Structure 1
Amino acid sequence: MKVVRVQYTTRPEFAAVNQQNITAIVNELKMLNHSGIKYTAWLLPDSKTFMHFDQFENEEAHQILQELLSFKKFADELWSSNLEVEPNLELLSVVASTESYF
């Protein structure tokens, strides 16, 4: 299992576009219906800081996410948007959970 947490801050004027791009990723993932990918994005109270919390059955599942057209569009536009705070990526390890994962 691979767990990834990413947090970054957009410029206020880009936050709505970023939300639309994230929604497109979620829609594509729902259509794909891959049981080894759990993808969640959160918007923090400042309305411009995003946190993604993704869980993958394995590295192959992570690669599937990164190859989605919607994810590539999201990443391209995010990197060209002049972020206030660049993404901080952390790989996490599960200690205990009430949830069943892969």
Structure 2
Amino acid sequence: MITVKVSYTVDQAFVEENQHNISVFMEDFRKVSSAEFRYDVYLLEDGVTFLHLSHYLNESVQKQVLAIPSFKVFQEKRDASGIGNSHKLEVMKFVGTTDDLFFSQR
């Protein structure tokens, strides 16, 4: 399993548009088998920092999901909004969960 955490900060004026852009790609993500990946987005307490947490069954699923055109458009708009050096990507090692996240596929 691949788990990735991405965080970035946008200008206050871009928060609403970013939320809309997220809703567009999330609608497309919902069309992909949820048995193979999970993607969550949070807006932190400061009101301008977004946190994306994604879990993929494997690299093939990750590539398929991240290639969805609406997600690429979201990334372009996010980057063009002026996030500067706030973008941080972390790959995490899975330890445990209370959920059945892909375990039925072992």
In the superposition, the TM-score normalised over structure 2's length comes to 0.89
Q: Which runs of 5+ in 2 are unaligned?
A: none
| Amino acid corresponding to residue 14 of structure 1 in structure 2 | F
2:87 corresponds to which residue?
Answer: 87
Q: Is the 8 A contact 1:11 1:84 kept in 2?
A: no
| Amino acid corresponding to residue 66 of structure 2 in structure 1 | Q
Alpha-carbon offset, residue 31 of structure 1 = 2.0
In the superposition, the TM-score normalised over structure 1's length comes to 0.92
Q: Is the 8 A contact 1:7 1:50 kept in 2?
A: yes
Q: Is the 8 A contact 1:10 1:85 kept in 2?
A: no
Q: Which runs of 5+ in 1 are unaligned?
A: none
Map 1:1-102 → 2, pairs under 5 A:
1-83=1-83, 85-102=85-102
| Secondary structure of the corresponding residue to residue 52 of structure 1 | strand
The CA RMSD measured in Å over matched residues stands at 1.3
Q: Is the 8 A contact 1:39 1:52 kept in 2?
A: yes
Alpha-carbon offset, residue 34 of structure 1 = 4.3
| Amino acid corresponding to residue 26 of structure 1 in structure 2 | M
Identity across the alignment (%): 28
Alignment partners' CA distance in 2, 1:8 and 1:28: 22
Alpha-carbon offset, residue 85 of structure 1 = 4.6
Alignment partners' CA distance in 2, 1:49 and 1:84: 13
